[in-house]
Structure 1
Amino acid sequence: MEPTNENQTEELKGRIMTALEKVIDPELNIDIVNLGLVYAVELIDENCCVIKLTLTTMGCPLADTITSDIMAAMQSISEITSTEVKLVWYPAWDTSKMSRYARISLGVR
């Protein structure tokens, strides 16, 4: 890949992560990025994105809500015309994956 394409890909992934910061976990009232729930953003081609994420607990009743919110947030990225959300359970989520902001907000040491 040419350096400019690599830079464009990284810039696009950065904008995707910024959009995902608007997706709030309804129970914890913190965004899914700062909670450390987003494990990967993969660009299949220039218009298709796969977002791999986990949830704080298996069987979380809010999975559909969070997925819908992700799809809505992705509409702000004009280059992406197709988004797939894949739930993954490994590695298991724990509080060490949270950002400093999320830890402070939730009072986690």
Structure 2
Amino acid sequence: MKISSPDPRAEPPKDPFFAIRQRFLALAETYVLEIAMLRRAAESPAQLRESLTGIGLIAHRVSGVAATLGYDSLGEAAASLDRQLTQAQKSGALDLRTFDQPISIFHASLSNVLDVRQS
């Protein structure tokens, strides 16, 4: 049996996730802005629950796709924030100070994915 090496002139395999990745990155740009606005709105006690719910929904969406597309650290940050916010919503323990760091980590991870794409 003869084993041949791949033809160096052959085109590299196409990225099956290219279109999905481009759509995800476009959404990520809007998510970065939304998270910043929701975080500011959460400083108002009257808007705390609604704002954290909005951030949680974004984290949930991102956690479901990020790791599949190769953005592992973003997926981990999103999943962690999603879990924390879901538990707090259920227990009624919503304190913005509790979520400042996880929100900041998630927001920075999302921004980093966009920065890498642009470089």
TM-score by length of 1: 0.30
Structure ranking higher on relative contact order (CA contacts 8 Å, 6+ apart): 1
Which structure shows the higher helix fraction?
A: 2
TM-score by length of 2: 0.29
